[in-house]
Structure 1
Amino acid sequence: MADFPTETHRFTSFDGVELAWHEVGKGRPLVLIHGYFSTAFVNWIKYGHAAVLAEAGFRVILPDLRAHGESAKPHDPAAYPPDVLMRDGMALIEHLGLSDYDLGGYSLGARTVVRMLANGAAPRRAALCGMGLSGLLATEGRGGYFRRVLTNLGSFERGSTEWMTEAFLKTTKGDPEALLLILQTFVDTPREKIAAMTQPTVVIAGAEDFDNGSAQEVADLLPDGRFVEIPGNHMSAVSRPELAAAILAFLRD
């Protein structure tokens, strides 16, 4: 596989907060959004997904969400209004002048994609990875879990789910205060809004991933949705080569 250099850029979002995005490859624009606690590098570059897609002829655009990665991590609660990640995503699309592009995300990234679609984003195709229906309809469910982790750091039994989540936070050098504020920005997407999203959409999830409910139910609700199962659970599926392969097969179809 060719070695694709990663370029890092910055822009000012709708409210003046500086955000980063990374690019790999040249060709058709494909915006991929990472998950909560993670970064563009960890989700999309580290395991080779971006390189696979770049080699297939895509300009892979990888934003670092607000409060994550190389983007700003303000501690002012006013910097975290409801749906701020959706607004940042829309601001990036506008900044780059994209009109004919594809859009995807993993976990919180997938939820952000759904929020963008619900608010007028118009990609050719969409990929929702690591996200089930309950994680779209009732966002507070997982938010409560992460709030518990972030407010009790250092207190969890070694090997527990919470301990593993905290360990992942350490590997990504996450900012607990900023990440806690992100939780107040989540917005539920009603079932009827999801059912009105007409873009061809692939819903990809690990066979053991039920952290956000059923991904199959998301695909079933979409007018033009299809479900692809890959190996792994919520934390491991993102590292599998089958993830990039499933995204690529869908975009090429």
Structure 2
Amino acid sequence: MNLNAPAFSTFSHDGLSLSYLDEGDPAGDPVLLIHGFASSATVNWVHPGWVKTLGDAGYRVIAMDNRGHGGSDKPTDPDAYRPWVMAADSVALLDHLRIPAAHLFGYSMGARISVFAALNDPDRVRSLVLGGLGIGMTDGVGDWDPIADALLAPSLESVSHDRGRMFRAFADQTKSDKQALAACIRGSRDLVERSDMGKIDVPTLIGVGTKDDIAGSPQDLADLMPNATALDIPGRDHMLAVGDRVFKKAVLEFYASQA
């Protein structure tokens, strides 16, 4: 497996061309990776080593560029980015690959998408790993309008909002379509009802960095669910927790416990 340049394919859903990779052992248990806002399958999963780590452990590793991101089509209507719409893209990829059910692993926005997939298509989800999003899943993560404004600003230098600057710099670094991302951040913020979290009974691991000021408590979210465990990722913020060794070890142990 080439860590730097896996092969991407495309499939069509909802009138869009969506880009994905399919690596690892074709006969292994499938893990579908769903990346975060302003990221991509490559940035979120290939570069931090997740595709290699899971592939080396014997899993079939699938990751899609969410609509508006990476090599996928980029609509500019905020309603195109509602979490249940994006969750349907993920389930459609499983359909395309003829996979009856998979382990879903989402980071940040991808964690929200994974939860909507588990609520809407529970028979397709074998387990959940939710990274970078704790009780913010149900209670919100603050005001994100300044991030949309930052993405549409003339330049990074003209942005004064701290979180807006962080995401604008990230979008510039990844050469993202900032108009599509602004639509995404405005359309993808629907919260999950606390009572709905209690309906998700698949094994779930919730990992959040101890320095993450966006996600909210992983333990508080786990407490709402019948079969969930919280993981503190020591000393990591929202951007750095995803590739952490503690997180990788915990995820591998979590999957091994279900074998």
More off after superposition, 195-204 vs 180-189: 180-189
Classify the secondary structure of the residue corresponding to 1:124. strand
Is the contact between residue 36 and residue 108 of structure 2 (CA under 8 Å) also seen in structure 1?
yes
CA-atom RMSD in angstroms: 2.1
Structure 1 length normalisation: TM-score?
0.90
Distance of 1:199 and 1:171 partners within structure 2? 36
Number of aligned residues: 249
Give 2:221's match in structure 1, choosing from 211, 218, 231. Answer: 218
Classify the secondary structure of the residue corresponding to 2:142. helix
- 4+ residue segments displaced more than 6 Å: none
Classify the secondary structure of the residue corresponding to 2:208. strand
Mark the runs of 5 or more structure 1 residues left unpaired by the alignment: none
Other-structure match for 2:243: 239
Classify the secondary structure of the residue corresponding to 1:51. helix
Task: State the identity %.
Answer: 35
Whichever residue aligns with residue 18 of structure 2, its letter is: L
Task: Name the CA shift for 1:6/1:137 in 2 (closer, same or farther; >3 Å).
Answer: same
Other-structure match for 1:164: 166
Mark the runs of 5 or more structure 2 residues left unpaired by the alignment: none
Other-structure match for 2:64: 63
Q: What aligned pairs does 1:1-253 form with structure 2 within 5 A after superposition?
A: 3=2, 6-13=6-13, 15-26=14-25, 27-76=28-77, 79-80=80-81, 83-122=84-123, 123-134=125-136, 136-139=137-140, 141-152=142-153, 153-154=155-156, 155-157=158-160, 160-182=162-184, 183-231=186-234, 232-253=236-257
- Deviation, structure 1 residue 7: 2.5
Is the contact between residue 79 and residue 187 of structure 2 (CA under 8 Å) also seen in structure 1?
no
Is the contact between residue 205 and residue 228 of structure 1 (CA under 8 Å) also seen in structure 2?
yes
Is the contact between residue 218 and residue 231 of structure 2 (CA under 8 Å) also seen in structure 1?
no
- Deviation, structure 1 residue 28: 1.3
Task: Name the CA shift for 1:120/1:142 in 2 (closer, same or farther; >3 Å).
Answer: farther
- Deviation, structure 1 residue 239: 2.9
Tell me the alpha carbon deviations over residues 187-231 of structure 1, each in whole angstroms, 9 at most, x when there is no partner.
Answer: 221110001100010001111113032111111111000011113
Is the contact between residue 90 and residue 121 of structure 1 (CA under 8 Å) also seen in structure 2?
no
Task: Name the CA shift for 1:145/1:252 in 2 (closer, same or farther; >3 Å).
Answer: farther
Is the contact between residue 30 and residue 60 of structure 1 (CA under 8 Å) also seen in structure 2?
yes
Is the contact between residue 207 and residue 230 of structure 1 (CA under 8 Å) also seen in structure 2?
yes
